Structure 1
Amino acid sequence: MTLRTSTAIRFGHTFREHRLRVPWDHHAPRETLEIFAREIIPAGGENLPTLLYLQGGPGFPSPRPVDPSGWLEAALEHHRVILLDQRGTGHSERIDADSPYLDAAHLRLLRADQIVADAETLREALGIRRWSLLGQSFGGFCITTYLSTHPESVEHAYLTGGLPSTDSHADDIYRATFSKLSTRHEKFYTEIPWAEDRIREICHHLNNSEELLATGERLSSRRFRTIGIELGRGTGFDTLAYLLEEPFREYRGEKRLRSDFLLDVGGRVSFAEAPLYAAIHETIYAGTTPGPTSWAAQSVSDAIPGFAYDLDPREAEPFYLTGEHIFPWQFEEDPALEPFRQVAEELAQAEDWTPLYDAEVLAEAGPVCAAAVYVDDIFVPLEHSLRTAERYRDLRPWITNEFQHDGIRQDGAAIFRRLYQMVREH
């Protein structure tokens, strides 16, 4: 495979953009796709060791930095940094409604094992003997696969909010995330005491009135409730409170939702930016135990108080927003997801998934690693993360309640510097 590279200078650093064709299926190489990675080399840093950043998601491209700040600033103190667009995202053959690869055969190949194989192909093409890894959220899942398959290629690994369960079915994962979200929700209702009544009022209104989003479709109460994903972010309580402050106005004697409110909500509930996130989300949990994922979030939510999609907002106790969970009805209501409806159903019912992790390799090989594990994380539950940490040969957890799942956005520099130091402590 031929590597193509171009170079530019941005904010005092050298940027190299790499493009490389790789097999769609590394286990049965026939057709290929082009992957893209952006390398950032600080001034005078040509000989620094390399750090590969693996983005959270799945389905999101790597960051497009406009300045060397946050975790990137801290990483560039010690490394050249490579930002990889994972296959199907960004410049690595983005898959959306217009993609020729919108089918189950290709979407099955967007999991961590193929992403890791892409990264290994890139590492070899760049002539790098070993590099370090930094993974946020799903990026940490990819690191755990990486260390299960190619531990000899990794110098150190740093994980932030991304230690996956290696032995649990998706149902078990979602029982844990809904439990965490229940606790987080009650804290939100305590800190913003009027928020519960406002959420119930909006949902009751949506059940009885036609309110249209800017994209033309009717907003349902169950779709509105997916804005609860914000509760898992560091500033989530405040951003939701500001959104909910004054959602209504009277228009010609009728109670209506304000246009700016609908515009804001529309951006939160649409998957137009990253439809893959919804389409392949549950596949990241497939293969750890036998059988299909079968819309795990939907089936589990129906059995947990406060989360069923058809609750009456006037009577239900409790009544909650939902989190990062993906439901089959979203592929009917979101125009950006409608083209993925059939393929998402096929993926949900697929049974022949291969395992992504090897517990024996994790325990016996690999580098010293460090992980930020967030106590209140509603995306990657603490208990599952700590069980996996014990299976690594040498993983040093930093268990903290200072951050939510997006801690790397809140103070990425401090988090990276702490993890960097942890792997060097004896």
Structure 2
Amino acid sequence: MNKVALWEGLCLPKAKGGMGFRRLHEMNKDLLGKQGWRLITMPSTLVTRVFKAHCYPICGFFDSSVGNNPSYIWRSLWEVQDCLKEGCRRAVGNGDDTFIGTDPWLPVDNNPYVETVLHPTVHDAPMSSLMNRHGTGCDVECVKDIFTDRDANLILNIPLSTRRPPDRWIWHWDDKSAYTVKSCYKHLTTVAGDDHPWAKIWSLHIPPKFFWAISSLNDSALPNFVMVCWGLWGSRNERVWNGLGFDSNTVVHRALPFLENWKLANEASTQFSVVAGHPTRWSKPALGRIKLNCDAAICQGSIVMGISWVLRDDEGKFLAAKNTVVPRNYLVKEAEALSIREALSWLISTSMGSVDVEMESQVVFNALFSSSFSSAFGLLIDDVRGLASAIGDVEFHFVKRSVNCTAHVIAREAFLVSGCGEGLDSALLFLVNILELDLMD
């Protein structure tokens, strides 16, 4: 018995009549995709090494073929190859394992592959060969000389981590870049069309796990119908297992209030997380601490953005401010994360610590307290975490625009001056009035 067949025999559930393999073969693509994702992203595991040695020894998973006399499990995994290829992207870290002409590494939805006709030496070269000598960004002139405008703009808009982590695979259809059955299913059903009832049912605002109903009801009646069905199911179980009688009024009066209470609880928690507890004016930090406000500004219609930060002490006195124009056009969340990274990097050089960092991006704030993920944005977040750890005493806070107004003005001012603006000890002239307003009660 070969190794793959042995692994199948040990791991697959056995059904009556020897139907285990057939049931696996009939699994949905989204479920099979998770197994394929593991083969791609976990190359050192025993299962991956066995499959690679037996099924695709001289190539990668995406270049493999079904082969002669394939096992049931390999045929099933191979059938989701196209789906995985469509959703997988390369997150560039150090650029050593991402190849310019063959990998999907450009930050775009439609076609993440380089379209420029390349010389073979460039086509097969790693992405790191396009970076500057410090590895902190791409060589702008080199990129513009080699690639078409479309490819060059996309390449130059890839945020790069200062830590130079290894390149890795990410899942394009998930916010945290990790494969989930739900994200794959959602994409597959979207591609197939939304003319079936499941697309409508999945979008219902009802408690999880109650997504089954008919599509003939209108949008207001459908959630009630689903909840009543859930109530009927619960009543049926009470009848079968506990011998309780069935009463239709009890079912309805139990199910519908449950739905309303669930909606109110979720609406309340959402409002609290966004609004409650957040001040509307800038305030001084606690005694012995300093406060760092960061922001980024995107210049619409251009390929530049401004990043800024302003530093004040526990009396509200100005310590330093800086803004600079970055010749990139990142996503807003990436630009915000970049401004915080550069501010903390600058702060380390001053030997100051015990700092409160305020930002107006809820997305960035939430990401800082979430588990790590591997997209370009995730790598920037990990850079920020690393710098905060090096400083030692950093607290992050999400604030409204009105609290972060000074940093926002400094970021916008970057577009109006040439080069980098920096003020130490004494405020830049245009900041004086804004800083005074922040201190007014």
TM over 0.5: no
Higher strand share: 1
User: Which has the larger Rg?
Assistant: 2
Higher relative contact order (CA 8 A, sep 6+): 1
Shorter chain as normaliser: what TM range?
Answer: under 0.3
Higher helix share: 2
